[in-house]
Amino acid sequence: MKIYHNPKCSKSRQTLEIIKENNIEPEIVLYLKDELSYQEIESLLAKLDLKPIELIRKGEAIWKENFKGKELTDDQIIKAMTENSKLIERPIVVVGEKAIIGRPPELVKNLF
């Protein structure tokens, strides 16, 4: 199990806590520190079964100031996420070829 985690995010912390309460020690990816590649984001999107726009945190200032209201291709949206990790919805938990966004955190239980 792998969690793309932001320690400053309460939902991310709660999701990690649920995982650990189930005696699982996940691999923790601090994606804000170690930015994700284009290929990594594409892989996550496939596992989540989402379109790139569905993984965007549309409330982030970076999105509102630079991208909101523009006609963007999937490629441009993924590139925006590679350059601005804050735009990626969190937390993302991956097990094999399946993944979920931990919103609400209890959704992670579907992966156990």
Please state, as a whole number, how many other Cβ atoms lie within 10 Å of the Cβ of residue 64. 11
What is the layout of strands, in order, in the sheet containing 98-101? 27-29, 2-4, 92-95, 98-101
CA-nearest of 91, 78, 90 to 41 is: 78
What are the residue ranges spanned by the domains of the chain?
2-111
Residue 4 has a pLDDT of 97
- Which tens digit of pLDDT belongs to each residue from 71-91? 999 999 999 999 999 999 999
CA distances from 10 to 16, 40, 91, 103 (A): 10, 24, 10, 11
Q: How far apart are CA 67 and CA 77, in angstroms?
A: 9
Whole-model pTM over 0.85: yes
For the chain, give the mean pLDDT: 96
The domain 2-111: what is its CATH number?
3.40.30.10
Q: How far apart are CA 37 and CA 60, in angstroms?
A: 20
- Which tens digit of pLDDT belongs to each residue from 19-48? 999 999 999 999 999 889 999 999 999 999
Please state, as a whole number, how many other Cβ atoms lie within 10 Å of the Cβ of residue 87. 19
Residues designated catalytic: 9
